[in-house]
Amino acid sequence: MQKEGKLDGDGFPTSGATLCVESRPALCFKMPPKQQDKDLTYEFGLEPHSERLPLADGGSWVFFTAMFSGGGSGTLTRFAVLRYASAGKIENLLPWVAVTNVSQYAMWNLPEASSYPVLVLADFVWGKGESHFAWHFYTVSAWKFDPKIGHYSEAFEYRTARKYSGGDSDRIRVLGPERQEIIRRLESK
């Protein structure tokens, strides 16, 4: 069960979204804030989404996202990969990872590169003279779970060789055209 965070009178989040275990409603994960500076804290309380991530051993984790908005045309979405820990807690396996609204992200099952779901991201690079929703180069990155250290870490990051739509009248589609390059880089890690 997921729930938006608390909102102020203008509809902006003042606390993080939560995801609770349906059979144990007191067992919840709250998306943590990000302190930008002493006067600004991003609270990821809007539009929570969760997705079950099946694992090869028959178990599953949960991919959880929530958004921050301070008004205007930009937003920031934060990610968590959650598992039930033996101590009766929900544990986030992902460090601080977030993307703007001019991005694309997905969890891919790539058994040739990882026994666990891989988080792939494409976030825009704002070039000189470009508007928010113009065509942009993108930074593509992949995050893999490392069972030796017990959490996800960044496997690689690269900048695309060509520009892609920034989503003004078209959906952002970067990961599909970059898929072979992403897989090639994952397999070499």
Which tokens go with 24?
Answer: 């144990």
Q: Which helix (H) or strand (E) holds 187?
A: helix 175-187
Domain boundaries, the chain: 1-100, 102-189
Which pTM value belongs to this model? Answer: 0.92
- Nearest Cα neighbor of 35 from 47, 24, 25, 43 is 43
The predicted pLDDT at position 91 comes to 95
Which tokens go with 14?
Answer: 């003042």
Per residue in 96-137, pLDDT (tens digit) is: 999 999 999 999 999 989 999 999 999 999 888 888 788 999
Average pLDDT over the chain reads 93
34-37 and 103-108 strand pairing: unpaired
Which backbone phi and psi does 23 adopt, to 5 degrees?
A: -80, -15
| Helix intervals (H) in 40-174 | none
Q: Specify the residue for token string 């609204």.
A: 101
